[in-house]
Structure 1
Amino acid sequence: MKHDYRSLFIGGEWVPAADAEVNTVIAASTEEPMGRTPLGGAKDIDAAVAAARRAFDGTGWSDLAPGERADALERFATALEARAQRIAETVTGEIGMPISLSKQVNGSFGPAVLRYYAGLARTLPLTEDRVAFRGGTTQVRREPVGVVGAIVAWNYPQPLAMMKIAPALAAGCTIVLKPALETALDANIVADAAAEAGLPPGVFNVVPGGLEAGEALVAHPGVNKVAFTGSTPAGRSIGEVCGRLLRPVTLELGGKSAAVILDDADLEATVAGLARVSFPNSGQTCYASTRVLAPVSRYEEVLDAVTTMAASLPMGDPFDPATALGPVVSARQRERVEHYIALGRDAGARLTTGGGRPKHLNRGWYVEPTVFGDVRNDMTIAQEEIFGPVVVVIPYRDEEEAVTLANDSEYGLGGSVWTSDIDRGTALAGRIQTGTVGINGYTLDFASPFGGYKASGLGRELGPEGLHAYFQLKSVYLPT
């Protein structure tokens, strides 16, 4: 096979797994095996956490000067850059992400974020002297939280992992990464880069695994913090465990974001933008604007434009640079998406395009880009996260109702506002209950905090706030 891993990266070495069970990764666009990794379990998690614990407590990673850790992160970034094409192509094979997108997010994001946090590590003061309220001085110290258990989803495997790896390492933490089984291959390429960069043994460990490995990592007594990206139900379960253990946790979860099209929007530019905001990675994007809210006065015009745009998106071989939509990740995911499409039809929503499997593609887990009109916000397809290329268009009467509809969701991760009046759009964005909002577009900014309100999660990643999450604070009261 093209990617055949027989060992796990633990303690700076490739070591045999505790059991002989194998994880086979199936290419989403061909339905053929493309690689294998060992299937890590609880014993492997034990070994990885022990290695991370030794690296934190014994090898001095947490005691290094911030500049020395920053140097290591920059070497890590350079090693990843040398593997960028391989990483992008591997992810495209694993999940069917179009190669043009994969090069941007899987090939380029990781090195950029590592360098960003290396820069913050060099400049962030680890101690601050404050004048005490009753006189004297208090020294406030930032100290690394310890061993981090990181669990990431398959849809954007490199960015989701690096949003945890980079700030954790910059803070002086060590880490055990449990990638999703669907994207275990590209995680091992990152391990190769870490070894080449000279990260001390145990600072970074990779254990691909399923539910057993994830549960073992979250509850492990040697873990000091958990960072998770994935579904809201899984996040709730992880949050319950961490709450019982009083263990810090960051949860980046699901979304059902609204794109609010105001009555003054340039429709041509808006629809061109929605192609990138509503359908990225075949809709398998947590922050995607999959609820399009359109003013009644322009409803049919907007619906027709969104329908035409969706129907025109090139779907096919994800390795073709012209492809805009590839397959979804698995047969199970395709069945899930098709189930929601059936629910939309049964609820009386108007299917304006898509709804089936593309006839010109007889291999791969493809679903046509699908648009529903005449959707009420209380319909299941407007409330639940589908995680596929399905967009619903919902009418509203005025701005007040638009805000009400946008906020009528258990989620609050992303969103967008489309208007010719930036001030008007910015004011409306401030009223939407969500962690991030784009005006006339949506671009994730790794220098700013990213995270959700409500059922979309707890805590923030990226920006200086993402680094702060891997510190604990200590106050030292000095005598007057």
Structure 2
Amino acid sequence: MLQHDRLFIGGDWVAPAGTGTIDVISPHTEEIVGRVPDGTPADMDRAVEAARHAFDHGPWPRMTMAERAEVVGRLAGLYAARQAEMAELITREMGSPITFSQLAQAPQPLGMLQYYSALGATFAVEDERPGVFGPVVVRREPVGVVAAVVPWNVPQFVIMTKLAPALVAGCAIVIKPAPETPLDAYPLAEMIREAGIPEGVVNIVAAGREAGEHLVAHPGVDKVAFTGSTAAGRRIGAICGERLKRCSLELGGKSAAIILDDCDLNAAMGFLSIASLMNNGQACVAQTRILASASRYEEVVQAVADMVAGQQVGDPSDPATGIGPLVARRQQERVEGYIRSGIEEGAKPVVGGLDRPRDRGWYVAPTVFAGVTNDMRVAREEIFGPVLAVIPYRDEEDAVRIANDSDYGLSGSVWTADTDHGMDIARRVRTGTYGVNLMNTMDPSTPFGGFKASGIGRELGPEGLSSYLEYKSIARLG
């Protein structure tokens, strides 16, 4: 069992203010695999104070962006050497299949460090524009102290969507990992020290909701960057709105994959197995609504059912496993509640259902529902588990209407033999990311975020860096 008794504050390992601990429980064995301190509001105060001092008086914001980018590049080099360790640790603490951890949980954070290091080396901090009375210098300055509140499903990925651009921008940051997945933040803290990032620029305090809300509302925090549920995002947005505090919110999704009649189903299912079921279905971008035309509906249902039934369910550390356990018992019960709701509303489970595939561990049966209408709960609410709903449509207009008939707008896809026509469909669906014959994989160089209840703001790309910058216009005469 991994045990840590310190928090990373002010560039050092310090004793927590309280005596509470967080037990990290394996979703596969239901045994304790780690223990860390449970951060308190007093710990958050100390972390914000360290970040505030580093920003207001330290060297980091006063370095050039290119100099900071070079340090971030060193951090990327250290991260590259520990990718395997990070992948195994995330699988151990939250049940992500090891193949997914090796392909995404660890490599994508590394890619973001590398991208922002390269971007910062050439990014223009100032540019001059003609003004009414003479030239105006438009300057970009770091927003200040950032509170990064991150979820458990892709912990390092989400940390890095905030940490990498915030560092390059010149901010100081307090990271609050989720209590389900605090272990992977410890090797990250070690790498931050080794990379030579100044004391107090990065602080990491794992904690629950009370300490997290204290951090969000802290007057020493200039910006909050949050990824998580839409319900929590509304609460955080309200707190930030009351205090006129900058915030970016990356929230939930209920994305639709539109299967057009000319689609090669065999080819599409290989991609959809990832797009719909990645990370045991615990992904905000998962394509959990499968839209099929009435003329091919039964064929699509069978193809999706075969794809899901072909997934090996079991030990997430086994490379052959396609679907592992859910992160916690409450998540298992939540997803089973949605399966029960689908049955009660008249949908038919053609694969899966309420029989658990294993007696031990927080597993649910991967489930495919047929006979779903878009007003059912399984079609409207984010389930965050391996549950897919196949919904019929009359024609393409109806397919686009159903795809857009959602409170969310985070991701989506269309599957067709005609990619140009697929692009036409993509332009009509109101989501922040989209794929034609693939899933948009959140490329570090392109903006990621959502429409409607899927959030506010964008991460990744130059747009993600801009969200950690304030813009100042300096006019001069003569």
TM-score (normalizing by structure 2):
0.99
> Residue 382 of structure 2 is aligned with which of 381, 385, 389?
385
- Return the alpha-carbon distance in structure 2 between the equivalents of residues 46 and 103 of structure 1: 36
Q: Work out whether residues 59 and 198 of structure 2, in 8 Å CA contact, stay in contact via their aligned partners in 1.
A: no
Q: Is the 8 A contact 2:133 2:477 kept in 1?
A: no
- Tell me the amino acid that sits aligned with residue 403 of structure 1: V
Unaligned runs of 5+ in 1: none
- 1:286-326: per-residue Cα shift (whole Å, max 9, x none)? 01000000001100000011011101111111111111111
**Cα contact 1:105–1:158 (8 A) shared by 2:** no
Instruction: Determine the C-alpha separation between the residues in 2 that align with 1:477 and 1:467.
Output: 24
Q: CA deviation at 1:77?
A: 1.1
Q: Which stretch of structure 1 is more off in the superposition, 403-412 or 60-69? A: 60-69
The residue that corresponds to 1:79 in the other structure is 78
Aligned to 2:445: 447
2:303 alignment partner, one of 295, 302, 305: 305
2:252 is paired with a residue whose SS is: coil
Whether contact under 8 Å (1:357, 1:366) holds in the other structure is no
In structure 2, the partner of 1:167 is: 165
How far did residue 135 of structure 1 move?
3.4
TM-score, with normalisation over the residues of structure 1? 0.98
State the match for 1:270 in structure 2: 268
SS at match of 2:182: helix
- The structural deviation recorded for 1:467 is 0.3
Query: 1: distance between equivalents of 2:104 and 2:303?
Result: 28
Q: Deviations over 1:33-59 (max 9, x none)?
A: 001100001100000001011111111
Matched residue type, 1:202:
G
Query: Is the contact between residue 27 and residue 94 of structure 2 (CA under 8 Å) also seen in structure 1?
Result: yes
Q: 1:46 maps to which residue? A: 45
For the residue of structure 2 that corresponds to 1:165, the secondary structure is helix
Tell me how far 1:82 sits from its aligned partner. 2.1
Counterpart CA distance in 1 for 2:165 and 2:416 is: 35
Correspondences of 1:234-383 after superposition (within 5 Å): 234-359=232-357, 361-383=358-380
- Alignment of 1:471 with 2:432, yes or no, is no
Sequence identity of aligned pairs in percent?
Answer: 54
Counterpart CA distance in 1 for 2:355 and 2:161 is: 34
Match of 1:181, SS?
coil
How far apart are residue 103 of structure 1 and its match? 1.3
Match for residue 425 of structure 2? 428
1:19 is aligned with what amino acid? G
Q: Please tell me whether residue 5 in structure 1 is matched to residue 4 in structure 2.
A: yes
In structure 1, what is the equivalent of residue 207 of structure 2? 209
User: Is the CA contact (8 Å cut-off) linking 1:144 and 1:470 kept in structure 2?
Assistant: yes
| Matching of residue 406 in structure 1 with residue 431 in structure 2 | no
Aligned residue number for residue 68 of structure 1: 67
**Structure 2 contact 281–385 (Cα < 8 Å) conserved:** yes
Q: What amino acid is aligned across from residue 128 of structure 1 in structure 2?
A: D
SS of residue paired to 1:70: helix
Cα distance in 2, alignment partners of residues 278 and 106 from structure 1: 17
Which amino acid in the other structure matches residue 53 of structure 1?
Answer: R
Question: In the TM superposition, what is the alpha-carbon distance from 1:357 to its structure 2 partner?
Answer: 4.3
Once structures 1 and 2 are overlaid, which stretch shifts more, 287-296 or 134-143? 134-143
What stretches of structure 2 of length at least 5 have no aligned partner? none
Deviations 1:248-298 (A, max 9, x none): 100000000000001110111111211011010111000100000000110
Q: Displaced runs of 4+ in structure 1, greater than 6 A?
A: none
The CA distance in 2 between the partners of 1:216 and 1:61, in whole Å, is 25
Give how far 1:445 is off. 1.0
Superposed displacement of residue 72, structure 1: 1.0
**In the alignment, what sits opposite 1:100?**
99
**Which one of 427, 449, 460 corresponds to residue 462 of structure 1?**
460
Aligned pairs, number: 477
Q: Which amino acid aligns with 1:320?
A: D
Query: Residue 362 of structure 1: CA displacement?
Result: 2.6
SS in 2 for 1:154: coil
Q: Which residue of 2 aligns with 1:192?
A: 190
Structure 1: how far apart are the matches of 2:438 and 2:29?
A: 32
1:263, 1:298 within 8 Å by CA — same for their partners in 2? yes
Tell me by how many angstroms 1:460 deviates. 0.1
Counterpart of 1:417 in structure 2 is 414
Amino acid in structure 1 at the alignment position of 2:4: Y
Secondary structure (helix, strand or coil) at the match of 1:49 reads helix
Q: Return the offset for 1:358.
A: 4.2
**What is the alpha-carbon root mean square deviation over aligned residues?**
0.9
Q: Is the 8 A contact 2:432 2:449 kept in 1?
A: yes
Is 2:29 the counterpart of 1:30?
yes
Counterparts in 2 of 1:115-194, with a 5 A limit? 115-132=114-131, 134-194=132-192
Deviations 1:211-268 (A, max 9, x none): 1111011110100000000000000000001111111100000000000001110111
